[in-house]
A and B are shown apart, each in its own frame.
Chain A
Amino acid sequence: MIFNIVIFPGIFYVLLWTVALFWFFRKFIAALHKRVGPSFNGPAGSYQTLFDLSKLLTKESITPDGVNPYLFSIMPILAATIAMLPTAFIPWTQTITVVQSEYALLALVVLIGIEPFLLFLTGFGSNNKYSFLGGIRVLTQMISMETSFFLSALSPALLFGTLNLNAIVEQSSWLSFLILLPAFILYFIALLGLLDQPPFNIPDAEQEIVYGFYTEYSGTNYFLLKLAEFSEFMAVFAGAATLFLGGYKGLFFDGFIFLFIKMLLIAMFMMVIRASTPRITMKQMLHFSWSYLVPLSLLNVAWIMLAKIYLLGSLS
């Protein structure tokens, strides 16, 4: 258990993932930009993000005038902790699942879904107009994106009749992948919204509201928020891989490596969208979400039911 908390899939693993994914994002987006990205610190610049994040730990953490100091400094810690928790429920290999629960899927979805609310509070507690606007935007986006996120994330449960993530992975097959493909696409779109990625990077839109809820944070607090962001990435990518792409199941043998590759593929796809799509506005996001995404999610639920009856032939 202590091994699980400290090393894998606990704190050390999350830190390593943050450093590695941050580096990977920078390298990959640089390649799309026709640049090189970090290259002189370590092999292919792989120490760069390690230095970046270590630096943040030792920088001054400013608490601006007029904020509630407790709210201001507790929120990053809370956000980072809660963002790390979903890792406990994900089946990383056949044997490693920290919390074996019949209701793991529910826990996963709720823990992912609560994160934007914490980010809203970070913005709310910053005593800055831009931060506050960012917080409000997070909340709006959360409300409009989470409906379809929940509906699409729960459709495997509907199909397999279980909320246990291990059981979902065990039962998944090529046929179930095809049946769940619409749900996966909807999940992916909602994921972009939940993670504030383009074209839904409205809450931390640099060009509009400086940096949204991040604006006033510096030093260690900013490090924690970054950690929260990347842990959130991990939870959501691992959730997608587990729910729709067969988790740790591989081509010739099963293992953690396949889960990791699937997560990286999702990350890469997200980056390609980042490099080719401009940001849309709040109104367009709301319009898109409530008049297309949510109805389609409901249709998807109907499709899962029909598929279950006619393709799998049972309604148990």
Chain B
Amino acid sequence: MQSLYALLQMYETEYIEDYKKSWKKVKLSNAEDLLKVAKALKANGLKTIATVSPTDFLEKNIIEMNYFFEDLISKRNCWLKCDISRELDKCEIESITPLFKGANWHEREAYSMFGVKFLHHPDLRPIIISQDFYGKAPFRKDFDWDAHEANTLQNIQTIVDAFKTEENENDKGIDAESSETVLNWGPTHPASGPIRLKVHCDGEDVISIDPDIGFVWRALEHLVTKKDFIGAIVAVERLCFMDNINSMIAYAQAVEEIAGTEITEFAKWMRVLLGEVSRISSHAMGMGGFYNALGLHTVAMWNMDMREFFLDFLESYSGARIATAAIEAGGVRYGLQENMLEELQLALDKFDATKDDMRAIFVKNPTMKMRAAKQGIITAQEVEEYSLCGVVARASGVKVDVRLDEPYAAYDKINMDYVTQKTGSANDRLVNLFEELEQSVDIIKQAKKHIEECIKSGKFNPTKDHMVKVPKKLPAGEAISRVEWSRGEVLMHLVTQEKATSPYRLKMKAPSFNHTMMLDKLLKGQTLSDIPLIFGSLYICQGDLDR
């Protein structure tokens, strides 16, 4: 940690602060230094960049850039800030994509949403936003949405025209003699979900892939700024419904940090419990999706059967199967009634009953191994380079798990270890997914036991302890909060203004964004049959891809 401090001191900075346990928070005086600092940080071991997040300060007339550098090995992190001008033609900064490949799409996103121009970026095209927003910077505070919205049909026509132009160009641009062609894999495709992969292929061989994303872009980061701090939960949990509890935990932690609230011990344990239930329901779907991509629907069905029991628990707890909104800043929303844990026990029994069959028939399936063991290999080095996380990173043998690296809620009192595989192939990702399911069940058992004991001994009062009050108006401040989401690390960067009732800026870094970036690299030179396999194995959800 000291060496990082020494390193940062060599540059002109406004301040260098310790933040949380493992972070250094730095503000550079000149934005020109950015590239030098980034280079030095990379040489120092911080090879991963979580995200690039601009914040638009209308009154100060600046855009503040936030860079989150991480070191996956020694767990040192650095939060780098610098200011740039807000005027559209001067709003530019040096791109760090040549150094950190993982920053590629994040910079493109910042370019599309805020109009920040990244100099020397290899491929600075708009991403996520639909064609009618091109060149308009929709996330800036002075963007006039009502004026834009006035002619919706015309905007849609822009999108249609753009698609038709592209189609014609594809037909024209391709040599009539060659057998090369462009396939649109999605958005109306049985295995794709709302994403479009432009597959350039020659017969069965894939030449290159260009993902076109943003089909479920709901502008969540913009939406939360129109809601109050509690209402924002509705938007945050819709990051992806497969695992909504953990994303709410991340947001709630950020709010609590700014408000300076400490939640009760009981609420912490409940967060672990609910978070893991949610993780299981997500992993079960993810594993099913993996096999679905290979035309084997049985696993999805068996997993769905098991998942329903976990959803029963969530339903008895919160009243909703999926849209639970169960986590709030200040704790968890509801108390725990007696029979709820019995409901959970049923689910755990159900999992234990099918676990062995599942492993024997499907996880160790020889055809599956033949198919996936040599496909889509991601090395540990690539994990760092492209800043992958979660199941994908751990399958490559990288020990990264926010629950252990930077324990939140009650994870510091849980007995657990990294679940890793060795080679990082598609099959390893699958095995890892299954082993994490087992790990989650184990964590739930620990948490359940502890909660039951503490209720019995009178340490927890399950109907009163669940919430502490958080003020409705928060002071000015900013916080980042990380959680281990089902797909990997979610980083939320929350900025508030003085006496604010709603977030000023919330940046959500979600893992699928980085994973989708890998698609082109993994699929180049493979065949069409490998597209669903690798796409499925990366465990991508379009919800958190587009946000």
With A34-B301, A129-B181 given, is the CB distance from A209 to B528 under 8 Å? Answer: yes
Smallest Cβ distance from B160 to chain A, in angstroms? 18
B148 proximal to A (CB < 8 A): no
Give the contacting residue for A278; candidates B189, B301, B367, B530; CB below 8 A: B367
Chain B residues near A32: list those with CB within 8 A: 298
Closest to B361 in A: A276
Q: Is the CB of B298 within 8 A of A133?
A: no
Query: Which A residues between 251 and 309 are near B, CB-CB below 8 angstroms?
Result: 275-284
Cβ contact within 8 Å between B302 and A34: yes
Question: Do A208 and B531 touch (CB < 8 A)?
Answer: yes
Rounded to whole angstroms, the CA-CA distance of A206 and B296 in the bound complex is: 11
Contact present for A278 and B302 (CB under 8 Å): no
* B41 CB → nearest A CB, Å: 41
- Which A residues between 28 and 42 are near B, CB-CB below 8 angstroms? 32-35
- B356 contacts A by Cβ under 8 Å: no
| Interface status of A210 (Cβ within 8 A of chain B) | yes
Q: Does B365 contact A (CB under 8 A)?
A: yes
B381 contact set on A, CB distance < 8 A: none
Whole-angstrom distance from the CB of A218 to the nearest CB of chain B? Answer: 15
Number of interface residues of A (CB under 8 A): 29
Type the 1/0 row for B385-409, where 1 means its CB is closer than 8 Å to any CB of A: 0000000000000000000000000
- Is residue A58 within 8 Å, beta carbon to beta carbon, of the partner chain? no
Q: Which of A169-211 contact B (CB under 8 A)?
A: 198-199, 201-202, 205-211
- Distance, CA A33 to CA B297, complexed state (A): 8
Partner of B532 from A33, A35, A207, A276 at Cβ < 8 Å: A207
Cβ of A136 within 8 Å of any chain B Cβ, yes or no, is yes
Q: Does B371 sit at the interface, judged by CB under 8 A?
A: yes
CA distance A271 to B91 in the complex (A): 61
Q: Are A198 and B295 in contact (CB under 8 A)?
A: yes
* B310 contacts the other chain (CB 8 A): no
Determine the chain B residues whose CB is within 8 A of the CB of A202 once the complex forms. Answer: 529
A279 to B529, CA, bound (A): 9
Q: Which of A207, A276, A281 contacts B293 (CB 8 A)?
A: A207
> Which residues in A have their C-beta under 8 angstroms from that of B88?
none
Most chain B CB within 10 A, of A207, A280, A282, A284, is at A207
A window 112-157: CB within 8 A of B: 129-130, 133, 136
State the interface size on chain B (CB cutoff 8 A): 31
A1-52 residues with Cβ-Cβ distance < 8 A to B are: 32-35
**In chain B between 523 and 547, which residues have their CB closer than 8 angstroms to a CB of chain A?**
527-532
Residue with the greatest number of chain A CB neighbours at <10 A, chosen from B291, B305, B370: B370
Nearest Cβ on chain B to A97's Cβ, whole angstroms: 38
On whether the beta carbons of A280 and B293 are closer than 8 Å, the reply is no
* Given the contacts A129-B181, A133-B204, A136-B203, A208 and B367 also touching, CB distance less than 8 Å: no
Specify the chain A residue showing the minimal Cβ separation from B536.
A207
**A33-B301, A284-B370 known; A277-B365 Cβ under 8 A:** yes
Choose one: A209, A210, A278, A283; the contact of B365 (CB below 8 Å).
A278
**Which A-chain residue is minimally distant from B372 (CB atoms)?**
A278
Bound form: Cα–Cα A34–B303 in Å: 10
Task: Using known A-B contacts A34-B302, A282-B204, determine if residue A207 contacts B370 with beta carbons closer than 8 Å.
Answer: no
* CB atoms of B203 and A281 under 8 A apart: no
The answer to whether B7 has its CB under 8 Å from any CB of chain A is no
Give complex CA distance A93, B291 in Å. 43
Closest chain B residue, CB of each to CB of A137: B204
Q: A129-B181, A278-B294 known; 12 other A-B pairs, CB under 8 Å?
A: A33-B301, A33-B302, A130-B183, A207-B293, A275-B298, A276-B365, A277-B365, A278-B296, A278-B371, A279-B294, A281-B371, A281-B529
A-B complex: 3 closest residue pairs judged by Cβ atoms:
A278-B294, A207-B191, A33-B301
